[in-house]
Amino acid sequence: MPSFEVVATCGGARRGRLTTAHGVVETPVFMPVGTQATVKSLEPRDLDAMDVQIILANTYHLLVRPGPEIVGACGGLHRFMGWKGPILTDSGGFQVFSLATLRKMTPEGVRFNSHVDGRNLFLGPVESMAVQRVLGSDIAMCFDECPPYPCDPAYAQQAVARTLQWARTCREQPRAEGQMVFGIVQGGDDAALRASCARELAAMDFDGYAVGGVSVGEPEDVLVREMALGVAELPFDKPRYVMGLGDLWQIVEGVARGVDMFDCVMPTRHARNGTAFTRDGPLHIKAGEFKADTRPIEAGCTCYACQNFPRAYVRHLLNVGEILGVRLLTLHNIHCYMCFMAEMRAAIADGTFGEWAKEQKERLRGASAEGGSRRGGGGPPPRPPRQAWGEPTPRGGGESGQGCPAAATEGGESGQGCPAAATEGGEPGHGCPARAAGGGPPLA
């Protein structure tokens, strides 16, 4: 039966174990985003090979296409997409507000036109939970309203009231067998509002709790404060998830404050833009300086891409638009995230999280502060501002992770991971790179 236990702590950081209907998730965990029932360019066996523990899919997108009846006829989302591990589904609340057009709010939910074909649809707490039940996800999220940043205080209050009302409704709905339901804390940048929202949700006794509405365009200090505010009021013995947070250093900040779960489209979306994430910051692989570079994407990385191909090849593939380029970079990026989380879990279990976190943040932030030339074009593409409400969205989907760097591209990822199969302790056999600084096999 679904359960969660904290198996070790180190300062505010927690090493936990979340048992779902489709397997155990060792936390802290990063969940790769598979908005449209696929982690873009990867097969489930790729995810398995990288020790991905849990992935995310999206109710809004799967409601619009192909429709829950199709997924249901195939036996649910796990069978539909050939993934046997745990799945978390976002409720669609965020996407209804960020992607759909001609929205009309009612106390029961939102009537809107699909961003794909303009079809008139309705999604509220009852409908969202019904779709998530058919999908058969292991963790269903409550249908919520995510206010933008900045937000008028009166509006933020109204959004929290609606989110709480909808949470009560969600809690009463029938569930798939073994399905957990998480409540979502909203409240914008208002400390008191976030705290009271968290307390009220905690009183409803959900299986876990998420902090939503962060990483929606606010400055970093505000983001960290919002995250801390949301988490502080949540029960210790339940999993805590911050939605849409994907910068590695932000994940460290979250874990230091007791967050267990993360998701973001960054490692997959930025791969499609030619950005490789490394432990020393991002690399823009399409840059001219890598034209004849015989080294792997990241020295010391044990991923399939780094073990077999030079940067010059990956750059060539990307520059001529070959699909394999995106796939190799996605493999590397997800592997990077998985290894980062596995090391983090080991550090918490060892009681060395503080030192580990300090070292990682210095490497990651130092690299971004140094700017671009050394790293080849400097950092990932700037995070686009969250789309304003009511602003039309380009057709074709868009990545709609809650709070994730918005921006629509073809398809769309809307997650709110990278799993490393762990056992408490050192996670033996994970295959993570013992990354000797500057090491790694030359591929010349």
Active site residues: 90, 263
Figure out which of the listed residues 134, 306, 421, 422 binds Zn ion, where binding follows CB under 5 A: 306
Nearer to Zn ion, 96 or 301 (CB): 301
Region of 92-100, 171-179, 332-340, 343-351 interacting with Zn ion (CB under 5 A): 332-340
Query: Is residue 18 classed as helix, strand or coil in its secondary structure?
Result: strand
Size of the site for Zn ion (CB under 5 A): 4
Contact between 276 and Zn ion per CB under 5 A: no
Nearer to Zn ion, 115 or 335 (CB): 335
**In whole angstroms, what is the distance from residue 348 CA to residue 136 CA?**
32
Region of 127-135, 191-199, 303-311, 374-382 interacting with Zn ion (CB under 5 A): 303-311
Residues forming a β-bridge with 278: 281
Figure out which of the listed residues 301, 317, 328, 364 binds Zn ion, where binding follows CB under 5 A: 301
**In whole angstroms, what is the distance from residue 180 CA to residue 3 CA?**
9
**In whole angstroms, what is the distance from residue 92 CA to residue 98 CA?**
10
Describe the crossing of helices 323-350 and 311-319 by its angle, rounded to 10 degrees: 130
Among candidates 195, 197, 173, which has minimal Cα distance to 184?
197
What does DSSP assign to residue 136? T
Contact between 332 and Zn ion per CB under 5 A: yes
**In whole angstroms, what is the distance from residue 277 CA to residue 267 CA?**
7
Closest CB 332 distance from Zn ion, rounded Å: 4
**In whole angstroms, what is the distance from residue 384 CA to residue 407 CA?**
6
Nearer to Zn ion, 50 or 197 (CB): 50
- Map 56-70 to HEC letters: EEEHHHHHHCCCHHH
Figure out which of the listed residues 303, 334, 347, 348 binds Zn ion, where binding follows CB under 5 A: 303
Closest CB 432 distance from Zn ion, rounded Å: 11
371: left (phi over 0), alpha (psi -120 to 50) or beta: left
Query: Is residue 10 classed as helix, strand or coil in its secondary structure?
Result: strand
Q: Are 130 and 173 contacting, i.e. CB atoms less than 8 angstroms apart?
A: yes
Nearer to Zn ion, 122 or 304 (CB): 304
Closest CB 305 distance from Zn ion, rounded Å: 5
Closest CB 81 distance from Zn ion, rounded Å: 24
Nearer to Zn ion, 99 or 338 (CB): 338
Q: Which two tokens stand for residue 177?
A: 């067998």
Nearer to Zn ion, 228 or 301 (CB): 301
Closest CB 195 distance from Zn ion, rounded Å: 41
Closest CB 433 distance from Zn ion, rounded Å: 8
Binding site for Zn ion (CB under 5 A): 301, 303, 306, 332
